[in-house]
């Protein structure tokens, strides 16, 4: 398929059923969808974006202005630095000074951190206004923008302050990935691979079939673009199905946190210098080792974790001198109940379950397994 043929491919619409039903649209050149989503009742739009995407945000703003909307920009820090109470308050100030009402809307442009922040801004302003996400990274497309979880970080941990608040739409424009740096793409594959392990083994087969090609990104062949689109759509379908059954993480939705208990601990200990997908990669290996030590997962399945993740350049090990700090961070995880740690584990590929209150010796032994070799990021 040529570049021109890719440009005219019809978008895919994946429906998420939550407190409101919305579509995740996957395709190319999707900006024209935005006015139809916002509708005629919206008068004002606040576009929240990191400074690195100023040109993209200006293009969106100019298009909205041409459609008759009043469009403002809110420039926020890149990455996790945007997910603070101070930045949240900054966005509130803009909304208040511009007299935003419940019939107005927010548009987010950026990666997962921007999506998390913008979702919480929308959820909290006047107890909820519309938000449309335009994710620009692979991780945001398959994870942060879908499912309606919005949050900021505190000194005590990641995503501890937040809300469940669904967008009115998500537009995953694949054109944004054409200029995505290689390591950002690889980090995003961590979340893609996660959905393969918990629910869709075809994702794992696709990753293995194209692993060597990801090393040449962004010089992607037409075949790799086709595979990448299928990976994105499959990952979104997994999340859409789970979220539609369990919006507020009462039970089933917890499986989407596979690898995340240990991953969030790494991110906090490393002061968010690790990319989320890289931390999730190590977190999945930790969870797999924990399940193996508990007698629930085979050696072959654990080995497959390391094989697939390392094949695309994701880390599978972590330094061995941080256990006490990591353990303390895991006790602050959202899935913990009192002093009892709870982990999403696998009994087999695509057969997730939970492990509650594992013996401390198992926790330490699993850590020893992921710190046997020098870590590679």
Q: Which residues are catalytic?
A: 127, 149, 191, 239, 249, 253, 257, 260, 264, 276
In angstroms, the Cα distances linking 64 to 35, 68, 208 are 7, 7, 41
Q: Let me know if 362 is exposed, middle or buried by CB neighbors in 10 A (0-12, 13-18, 19+).
A: middle
Among 19, 265, 282, CA closest to 158? 265
**Computed from CA positions of residues 128, 131, 136, 139, in that sequence, does the dihedral angle turn out positive or negative?**
positive
Query: SS in 3 state form for 297-348?
Result: CCHHHHHHHHHHHHHCCCCCCCCCCCHHHHHHHHCCCCCCECCECEEEEEEE
Give the integer Cα–Cα distance in Å for 81 and 87: 9
Edge-to-edge order in the sheet of strand 130-135: 12-17, 21-27, 169-173, 130-135, 105-110, 44-50, 70-76
CA distance 201 to 308: 12
Give bridge partners of residue 322 from the DSSP assignment: none
Cis bond upstream, residue 97 (ω within 30)? no
| N-term to C-term CA, the chain | 33
C-alpha torsion angle, residues 174, 175, 180, 186 (rounded to 10): 20
């Amino acid at each position: 398929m040529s570049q021109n043929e890719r440009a005219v491919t019809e978008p895919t619409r994946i429906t998420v059923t939550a407190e409101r039903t919305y579509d995740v649209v996957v395709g190319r050149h999707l900006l024209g969808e935005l006015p139809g989503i916002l509708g005629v009742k919206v008068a004002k739009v606040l576009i929240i974006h990191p400074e690195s995407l100023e040109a993209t945000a200006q293009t969106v703003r100019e298009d909205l202005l041409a459609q008759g909307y009043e469009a403002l920009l809110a420039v926020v820090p890149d990455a996790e630095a945007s997910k603070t109470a101070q930045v949240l308050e900054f966005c509130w100030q803009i909304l208040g000074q511009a007299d935003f009402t419940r019939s107005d809307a927010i548009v987010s442009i950026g990666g997962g951190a921007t999506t998390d922040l913008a979702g919480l801004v929308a959820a909290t302003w006047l107890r909820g206004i519309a938000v449309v996400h335009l994710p620009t990274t692979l991780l945001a497309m398959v994870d942060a923008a879908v499912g309606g979880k919005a949050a900021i970080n505190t000194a005590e941990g990641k995503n501890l302050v937040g809300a469940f608040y669904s967008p009115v739409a998500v537009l995953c424009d694949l054109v944004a990935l054409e200029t995505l740096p290689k390591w950002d793409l690889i980090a995003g594959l961590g979340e893609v691979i996660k959905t393969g392990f918990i629910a869709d083994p075809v994702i794992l087969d696709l990753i293995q079939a194209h692993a060597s090609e990801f090393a040449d990104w962004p010089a992607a062949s037409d075949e790799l673009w086709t595979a990448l689109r299928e990976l994105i759509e499959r990952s979104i379908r997994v999340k859409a199905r789970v979220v539609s059954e369990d919006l507020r993480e009462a039970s089933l939705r917890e499986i989407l946190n596979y690898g995340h208990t240990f991953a969030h601990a790494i991110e906090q200990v490393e002061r968010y210098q690790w990319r989320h997908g890289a931390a999730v990669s190590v977190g999945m290996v930790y969870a797999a080792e924990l399940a193996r030590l508990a007698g629930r997962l085979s050696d072959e399945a654990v080995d497959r974790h390391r094989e697939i993740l390392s094949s695309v350049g994701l880390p599978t090990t972590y330094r061995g001198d941080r256990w006490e700090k990591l353990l303390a961070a895991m006790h602050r995880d959202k899935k913990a109940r009192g002093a009892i740690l709870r982990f999403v584990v696998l009994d087999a590929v695509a057969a997730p379950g939970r492990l509650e209150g594992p013996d401390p010796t198992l926790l330490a032994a699993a850590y020893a397994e992921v710190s046997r070799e020098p870590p590679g990021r």
